[in-house]
Structure 1
Amino acid sequence: MEKIPNIYNSFQVDARIVVTADDTLNACQKLPDNTFSLIVSSPPYNIGKIYEKETSLQEYLQWQETIIAQLVRIMQKTGSLCWQVGNHINNREVFPLDIYFYPIFKKMGLKLRNRIVWHFGHGLHASYRFSGRYETLLWFTKSDDYIFNLDDVRVPSKYPGKRYYKGDKRGMPSGNPLGKNPSDFWNIITEEFELGIIDIPNVKSNHPEKTCHPCQFPIELIERCVLAFTNEHGWIIDPFCGVGSALIAAVKHNRKAMGIDRDTEYCKIATQRLNSYYGGTLKMRPIGKEIYKPTGKERVSQIPIEWSD
């Protein structure tokens, strides 16, 4: 595995991070079996973004299946695969991609551990249906023996002083001193005590991590996957890495990572962001930071005078 930096070095940052501008399938075919402890990505949704060519849904899924086969091959036995997807839209009809991807992963022997809902406050506005405000992250493992560091991602308990009221443990604390399981619904950090959900805002124009990429991963979204599904010094790969958010999440927590993207400009930006991270100048939203809530005093949060009676 240490030979990977020698395979692609045009955008190499250091021995721990490799970014390559290449076709995903072509790049993955060059990689050795049983290598990566985590494969995490958000593939193109086949909706006509500037970095993709829209095709029929069937053609899109067939293309994705050839890539997924390679990803399963290079994933370690104890590894995980996290596939974050939204919806494909055609003639105003919604096709939920996680439903279409599920049988592909199952056919290749992977086992679904969670269907995680990522909810965000601002998303795609719509006129002929309700506006989209969530996407899904499918977490698969290759075997029943997989890495899962729950203690590394626990969140504060609502009632840490709760105790068992019967049985052999009566009177003893019933919770975990490190906190509770964060659940499979990631929404609002400030409501963690009440609902057990975490808010991870998507990357829009005022987000500190925003680049020119139209569908950029927030680093915070990947950090929980990195902490829970890998150990230190493990290798992570994002086969559609865009501007490198998953790679930053990896190096931030002392992991090694490889990113693949066919867009040379995005790969250059990913490398620049990694260099900025090493230099201490990269703007990032801290994991767990409270979501901004309007006070009502801001002009944009007030009702326009034109709407008044």
Structure 2
Amino acid sequence: MKVKEPLFGYFNSEIIYSMINDDTFKVIDTFNREFDLIITSPPYNLGKEYEDKKSIEDYLNIQKKIIAKLVDVLSEKGSICWQVGNFVQNGEIFPLDIFYYDIFKQLKLKLRNRIIWHFEHGLHASKRFSGRYETILWFTKSDKYIFNLDEVRVPSKYPGKKHFKGPKKGLPSGNPRGKNPSDIWEIVSMDWNNEIWNIPNVKSNHPEKTIHQCQFPVELVERCILALTNEKESWVLDPFAGVGSTVIAAIKNNRNAIGIEKEKKYFDVANNRIDAFKEGELKLRPINKPIHIPSKNDKVAQYPKEWLKLNFKG
């Protein structure tokens, strides 16, 4: 039986939010406030309908100018989370996070984590291994940054583990609220804030799917917002807001937010989604929902009878 995704009907009317239909480079200078979190998935220079295909050098030069402006409106305790994939040219892959790292370092930001966002679905490559992850570069402006560890703790694997020596011998060695997510890179679907985050990307059967071709899930943004901002007082900015996932994640978790999107059709979808959220009509994937693993009885997990006749030897 297919389980319906829950609807979220809570909205705090004291939270301030705005979607702006304009070019980020033009708008940033008009802000008279600072943001505790700037989080986005920038254009990848893939030549899609909302991008002009440029050389990677031209693309990065444009992004560098925008990032410099963003750093100016980042608070001293603030963070930037930059979610990127790969630039592909003539079958060769250029991992964008490597190029972006130098840009942020030149602006004197400090890298705190390079988070791997792992997902199960995507294009099936025939001349290389299929790509199944993208990265989130988390930078801070200073050493005194917001980090709410308790908001993103995960269940301990061995909660009953105890100290075996010393003055605390026999006492629980863990934290009753859960463990600090480690930097061990393994896929654990229930361990939702491990440094590999196994979160499904937004494909055709995802409850949040819209017309945007490179939409990222609300769930992905929520985890950064919970950890890197403070409830009610923090402001969140998405300079390439797309269909508004960041703004939705922010207001869902009592944070003020601004999203900027230059494409009118995506801007309109974003506003419609925000309105639907406020009315309790927007479908969202729950933040800690495990990835579905088909059982052996599911048809999709069974070996097709057409393949049984095939002989792969020789």
Q: TM-score normalised to the size of structure 2? A: 0.89
SS at match of 2:125: coil
* 1:308 alignment counterpart: 308
Match of 1:157 in 2: 156
- The answer to whether residue 220 in structure 2 is matched with residue 221 in structure 1 is yes
1:126, distance to aligned residue in structure 2 (A): 1.1
- 1:198, CA displacement in angstroms? 4.1
Task: Report the count of equivalent residues.
Answer: 294
Structure-to-structure mapping, 1:193-208, within 5 angstroms: 198-208=197-207
| 8 Å contact from structure 2 (residues 15, 254) kept in 1 | no
Contact 1:116 1:186 in 2 (8 A): no
Aligned CA distance change for structure 1 residues 196 and 168 (closer, same or farther; 3 Å): farther
Q: Identity across aligned pairs (percent)?
A: 57
CA distance 1:62–1:51, change in 2 (3 Å):
same
Counterpart code for 1:100: F
Would the aligned equivalents of 2:81 and 2:136 in 1 still touch at CA under 8 Å?
yes
Distance apart, 1:14 and its partner CA: 8.7
Query: Deviating runs (4+, > 6 A) in structure 1?
Result: none
* Contact 2:156 2:179 (C-alpha < 8 Å) held by counterparts: yes
1:167 Cα deviation from its structure 2 partner:
2.1
Q: How far apart in 2 are the matches of 1:157 and 1:177? A: 9
SS in structure 2 at match of 1:212: coil
The 3-state SS of whatever aligns with 2:138 is strand
- The Cα offsets for residues 210-237 of structure 1, whole Å up to 9 and x where unpaired, read as 0011111111101110000000121000
The answer (yes or no) to whether the contact 1:189–1:197 under 8 Å persists in 2 is no
What does 1:1-309 correspond to in 2, within 5 Å?
A: 16-32=16-32, 35-184=34-183, 185=185, 187-190=187-190, 192=191, 198-233=197-232, 234-309=234-309
For residues 51-94 of structure 1, what are the alpha-carbon distances to aligned partners after superposition, in whole Å with 9 as ceiling and x for unaligned?
11110000000000000001000000000000000100001001
Structure 1 pair 186–142 and aligned structure 2 pair: CA distance change class (3 A): farther
Deviation at 1:48, TM superposition (A): 1.2
* Per-residue CA distance 1:13-41 (angstroms, 9 max, x = gap): 996110011111111121136x1000000
Residue 307 of structure 1: CA displacement?
1.6
**Corresponding residue for 1:3?**
none
- Partner Cα separation in structure 2 for residue 111 and residue 196 of structure 1: 18
Q: Which runs of 5+ in 2 are unaligned?
A: 1-12, 310-314
Question: Which one-letter code corresponds to 2:298 in the other structure?
Answer: E
Cα RMSD, aligned residues only:
1.8
3-state SS of 1:275 partner: helix
CA distance in 2 between counterparts of 1:112 and 1:277 reads 33
Q: Partners of 1:27 and 1:187 in 2: how far apart?
A: 39
Q: Which one scores higher on RCO, CA 8 angstroms, separation ≥ 6?
A: 2
Aligned partners of 1:41 and 1:240 also within 8 Å: yes
Distance in 1 of aligned mates of 2:208 and 2:186: 19
